[in-house]
Amino acid sequence: MVLFNYILMCLIFGTTFLSIKVGVDAGAPPFFSAGIRFLMAGSILFLWMVSRGKAKFSLLLRKEMLLSGTGLTFATFAALYWSEQYLSSGIAAVLSATGPLMVLLLQSGINRQKLSVSSLVGCLTGFSGVVLLLLPGILGTSFSKLWIIGCIAILLSELFYSAGAVYSSRVIQRFQGISPIALNAAQMMYGGAMLLFLSLFTEKVHMKSILTTSAILSLLYLIIAGSMVAHTIFYWLVAKTNPVFPATWLYISPLIALCLGAVLYHEPITLLSVIGGIIIIIGTIMVNINNLKHLIGRRTKESNL
């Protein structure tokens, strides 16, 4: 079940980068569309959990939900949506692939744990794959200030993402009697609300651009698949494994995003991009080799009972 959900999450997240790009290119304000996406998805999931008796409205009053939403949703997606105005969806996905490395380093630093050789080599391998993926875009792009700022913004947002991922694992342990789906929904509501608040002071929202077919389809897909399904799976995987393992979707999904961008949106793709993607997957396996062995061993033990 863990492996199936992990693969499904990677596939969905791999398509969300292009979906964001389609919506932004259609004229949808980035902060506004991101805020609507997460506030609606979080609200629907939360009300569903309340109706089933799996959550209480008092959960929304906990500061942990605000802090998780700030890292996992607000800071991460404010930068991603804004940057995709100036970057291709593939490059945005590649830059987001720095997340697992930051999660692993932050977690090791907080717990004062020494990285294993396989994890360290895996991080370096994955990072080298990211560099290869970026290289064609760097060499073939005229360096505008907004392009550079967009790249830096996504990289900085991954610091918030890594902090949110590590913090969310502690939140899950603190609220063991509450479903991870409810916790995820609550943090999305906070993140979405903060994005809308940011939009209020920074964007002019024109309904004509929001109501285009491309913008509406993009938003619906991101709400249902990108947020309600994929982010719930992510939170569930954090609860079942650790913050590092589910966060490695950021290594695999760039390859999916690059291929989709090239086929469906005519974004450039090169041999270096393909090689970089393969190296990233190898690095991901190396980083999580111990976790994978543990999960496989546990699954084998359960099947023998």
**Spatial contact of 30 and 173, defined as CB atoms under 8 Å apart:** no
pLDDT, greater one: 182 or 285: 182
pLDDT band at 291 (very low <50, low <70, confident <90, very high): low
Transcribe the chain into DSSP letters: -HHHHHHHHHHHHHHHHHHHHHHHHTT--HHHHHHHHHHHHHHHHHHHHHHTTS--GGGGG-HHHHHHHIIIIIIHHHHHHHHTTTS-HHHHHHHHTTHHHHHHHHHHHHHT-PPPHHHHHHHHHHHHHHHHHHHHHHHHS---HHHHHHHHHHHHHHHHHHHHHHHHHHHHHHTTTS-HHHHHHHHHHHHHHHHHHHHHHH----HHHHTSHHHHHHHHHIIIIIIIIHHHHHHHHHHHS-SHHHHTHHHHHHHHHHHHHHHHH-----HHHHHHHHHHHHHHHHHTHHHHHHHHHHHHHHHH-
- Report d(CA 189, CA 24) in Å as an integer: 21
Per-residue pLDDT at 297: 57
How does pLDDT run across 142-188, given as a tens digit for each residue? 556 788 788 889 989 988 988 988 888 888 888 888 888 899 899 99
State how far the alpha carbon of 245 is from the alpha carbons of 162, 211, 234, in Å. 12, 38, 10
Q: Has residue 216 got a pLDDT over 90? A: yes
Mean pLDDT of 247-251: 73
Per-residue pLDDT at 105: 76
Name which of 42, 119, 117, 95 is nearest 73 in CA terms: 42
- Report d(CA 205, CA 178) in Å as an integer: 37
Name which of 166, 156, 171 is nearest 109 in CA terms: 166
How does pLDDT run across 227-236, given as a tens digit for each residue? 999 978 887 8
Name which of 263, 288, 259, 292 is nearest 276 in CA terms: 259
Please provide the size of the chain in residues. Answer: 305
How does pLDDT run across 78-119, given as a tens digit for each residue? 999 999 999 889 888 888 877 777 777 787 777 777 777 877
Per-residue pLDDT at 40: 96
Q: Has residue 138 got a pLDDT over 70? A: no
Residue 58: other Cβ atoms inside 10 A:
7
How does pLDDT run across 190-212, given as a tens digit for each residue? 999 999 999 999 998 888 878 89
How does pLDDT run across 37-54, given as a tens digit for each residue? 999 999 999 999 999 988
Q: Has residue 141 got a pLDDT over 60? A: no
pTM of the model: 0.85
Lowest-pLDDT choice from 21-25, 147-151, 221-225: 147-151
Name which of 174, 189, 178, 154 is nearest 70 in CA terms: 189
Mean pLDDT of 291-305: 54
Q: Has residue 304 got a pLDDT over 50? A: no
Q: Has residue 287 got a pLDDT over 80? A: no
